[in-house]
Structure 1
Amino acid sequence: MKSIIVAPDSFKESLTATQVADAIAEGILAVNQNIEVIKLPIADGGEGTLDALSGLIPCTKIPSLVTDALGLPMHNHFLLASNQRIAMIEVAQSCGLAQIAPNQRDPMQATSYGVGQQMELAIELGVDEIVLALGGSATNDCGAGLLQALGARYRDKNGQEILVSGGNLCQIKSIDISELNPRLAKTKITLLCDVTNPLFGKAGASHTFGSQKGASAQQIDILENNIQHFAVLLDAKFGKPLSNIEGAGAAGGIPAVLIAICNAQLTSGIDYILERSEFSTHLQNADLVITGEGKIDTQSVDGKALSGVAKQAMKAGVPVIALAGSVTCDVNSLNKIGITAAFSICNQPLTLEQAFKDTSENLKRTAENVTRLLLC
């Protein structure tokens, strides 16, 4: 074995994709220093996308002071490509679940306003394109807050302006975009997505993701009605039917306003990352790919990072080993997308806290064992 590509996603709440790749590489090289290890940390458009892109594209961090999903001030950043006029923004960092304690999550009050603040700053810097990574949102406001930060005005039946959130979209009777930043219309918007859920319906934003964002069953019904109400307003004003667009339900419906007003384009997050990492080129000389994520489950085989890696490797005839904290997906499902075998890195019963603490060492040990097995 001469060459191994190490292309993992992050292990959420434990290690970034870059740290995971470093740990796996250390385990491989502990067995044989002569193996070429190509580290390509990945993401699928959700949490960790900026980390992955920062290792693939020469770029600069642009600091920004924005509001989080619940309207509290927070220091943040986005990336500005050094040789291109492209800004890269991650929703998970601007209005993400990770910034809010589980007992404080409230999609009725949450807003995507902070994402719009970052977009406004990027536009003022004169970028030609904004790449928006959608996953990990704590919001369910259909992107109305984002658009408000860019200059949109919403008014109720009495003509009073509304500060929008997921819980009050039904109060909006008119949308005024006359004060939108004029540069927005000239800016290409690319949306990196890791799901295919529509905007509303049983598979839509509210019913699929509302509970993990803190919504009760009753609130999910309210959020669903609110999104449908807002979608009707968008369709009437901009002539863009949104009900059947795959992926429009990502990030609490953020794609909806950007598709309706900016002709934003949805694309697979993992495909975008793999293209920029020149993954297909590296596969030509690779003997093995090692990938991984915190938990391998049924979602892993449907548009997520692991499935994107495995499918490309399978086309190239390169075997794939996956490592994870836990593996709950049926092995046959993994084989079908190109994953040869999957291993849990935990070798004894552990609390979640201990598993997070020991992730790096467990990755090194498992990668070393896998490498010894393959070389024997």
Structure 2
Amino acid sequence: MKRVVVAPDKFKGSLTAAEVANALADGLVTGDPTLEVLCAPVADGGDGTVAAVVASGWSPVLVNTTGPTGEPISASYAARGSVAVVELASAVGLEALPGGVPDPLGASTFGLGTVIRHALEGGAREIVIGLGGSASTDGGAGMLQALGVRVVDAEGNDVTRGGGPLRVARRVDLSRLHPAVAQTRFRLACDVDNPLLGRSGATAVYAPQKGATADDLVALEEAMTQWARVVRAATGRDDSDRAGAGAAGGTAFGAISVLGAQTQPGIETVLDLVDFRRVLAGADLVVTGEGSLDAQSLHGKAPIGVAAAARQSGVPVVAVAGRSALSDIQLRDAGIIRAYTLAELEPDLDRSIANAADLLRRIGRTIAATRSTVGRRGES
């Protein structure tokens, strides 16, 4: 084994994907200085997506925008030529809430729309939106308001931002929608198949994670139902039952219905953006990972997508995680030879999180030392 590609996602609450990759790379090279190690951090379409794309050579663009509850913040998107990659989480995600305090009825995607507007006015004609980590349930209304769409009540007044106020929406005016939208292709990096409404919809499934009480859930479902009604009247199409429309508090619904967006699996979109198959050329081993490998990982998470791409190229894969709840059979079915965990080295969770970088370096050295058993092509 001579060339190793290190392609992890973040270890949430501990290290970014780039930090994980760098720590593993340090350990690998320390364990075997003859190795050529290429760091290629990835993401699944949620927070960290822009950072992963920038790490692959795209240009970062900083934008002054507003957070989910309207406070001024800065967010970045990635640009290359006429393509831009925008991350919902960095502008209006849960981690952007002031003090971490949720506002289930008032949180809005307006700040995401501001970032998209900036990309449009910068010449982007293909925009990829990573939808993970939303703090709001507003059906994408705020995003569209930032792009010029008017949402008005029975008296013709603009409806205030947030999901709750959409209960009084009576009309959507698309006449001032940013003109560049018509010339732009929108792609949504999204791994959920929930519709906008109903028992498996955006409100019922995801709003409780954003602080919604039982009363809030009733109000938000009424608001999303009304929002779907007025959007249908304005566009002539009903996407409320479409699989994935409920993603990111229904942001996908607004993007699909008004921007003509198409949904795509998150990790596959990111791997395409970072040209991961080119990165794989000549590799003898891929090291991937995330904070926790579990049953949820098997449904569209980054390590599984990386393993699938590597398997198609005949490159064996090992994974590194804080902990793993997957059996050896599950790992091998996913194309992963072996999983190394921080928990094996440090069972105490708090110490493991605090010392994650050092533990990852130790694992990197271990992988380098056992290269003869994990670095043979086709073993996956």
Contact 1:286 1:318 in 2 (8 A): yes
Q: Distance in 2 between matches of 1:115 and 1:167?
A: 18
What RMSD, in angstroms, separates the aligned Cα atoms of the two structures? Answer: 2.0
State the Cα deviation string for residues 236-275 of structure 1 (Å, max 9, x = none): 3212221342322221111211211121121222112222
Corresponding residue for residue 26 of structure 1: 26
Q: Provide the C-alpha distance between the structure 1 equivalents of 2:274 and 2:78, rounded to a whole number of angstroms.
A: 17
Which structure 1 segments of 5+ residues have no match?
none
Query: Residue 103 of structure 1: CA displacement?
Result: 5.4
Q: State which drifts further: 164-173 or 109-118.
A: 164-173
**What amino acid is aligned across from residue 20 of structure 2 in structure 1?**
V
Task: Measure, in 2, the Cα distance between the counterparts of 1:256 and 1:36.
Answer: 44
Following the alignment from structure 1 to structure 2, what is the Cα–Cα distance between the partners of residues 18 and 359?
13
Worse-superposed segment, 255-264 or 244-253: 244-253
Equivalent position of 2:293 in the other structure: 296
For 1:220, the aligned partner's letter is L
Q: Is the 8 A contact 1:197 1:250 kept in 2?
A: yes
Deviation >6 Å, runs of 4+: none
* Equivalent AA in structure 2 for residue 336 of structure 1: D
Q: CA deviation at 1:128?
A: 1.7
Matched, 1:119 2:116: yes
- 8 Å contact from structure 1 (residues 46, 194) kept in 2: no
CA-CA distance at 1:340 after TM superposition? 2.1
Q: Which moved more, 1:325-334 or 1:288-297?
A: 325-334
**Inter-partner Cα distance in structure 2 for 1:124 and 1:316:** 39
* In structure 1, distance between residues paired with 2:10 and 2:170: 42
- Which structure 2 residues correspond to residues 68-79 of structure 1 after superposition, within 5 A? 68-79=67-78
Whether contact under 8 Å (1:102, 1:214) holds in the other structure is no
Distance in structure 1 (CA, Å) of the matches to 2:152 and 2:184: 26
For structure 2, which runs of at least 5 residues remain unmatched after alignment? 374-380
1:373 positional shift = 3.0
Count of matched residue pairs = 372
The one-letter code of the counterpart of 1:14 is S
What residue is the counterpart of 2:167 in the other structure?
170
Match of 2:378?
Answer: none
Match of 1:210?
207
How far apart are 1:175 and its partner, in Å?
0.8
TM superposition shift of 1:317: 3.4
Kindly state the Cα deviation for residue 356 of structure 1 after the two structures are TM-superposed.
Answer: 2.9
Partners of 1:333 and 1:204 in 2: CA distance: 29
Identity %: 38
Partner amino acid, structure 1, of 2:26: E
2:275 aligned residue: 278
Shift of 1:316: 3.2
Aligned to 1:365: 362
> 1:301–1:334: 8 Å Cα contact kept in structure 2?
no
Using the size of structure 2 for normalisation, the TM-score is 0.91
Q: State the partner residue of 1:43.
A: 43
Comparing 183-192 and 328-337, the one that deviates more: 328-337
What SS is found at the alignment partner of 1:71? coil
1:192 to 177, 189, 192: 189
Which residue number in structure 2 is paired with residue 151 of structure 1? Answer: 148
AA aligned to 2:289 is G
Distance 1:343 1:225 in 2: 47
In the TM superposition, residue 319 of structure 1 has moved relative to its aligned partner by 2.5
> What residue is the counterpart of 1:130 in the other structure?
127
Q: Deviations over 1:201-233 (max 9, x none)?
A: 333222222222112233233323322321222
Partner of 1:349 in structure 2?
347
Distance in 2 (CA, whole Å) between partners of 1:121 and 1:284 is 35
Q: Deviations over 1:309-361 (max 9, x none)?
A: 11222333332211111223444333322122223213233243x33321111
Distance 1:278 1:129 in 2: 17
2:307 to 300, 307, 310: 310
Change (3 A) 1:148 1:169: same
Partner amino acid, structure 1, of 2:70: G
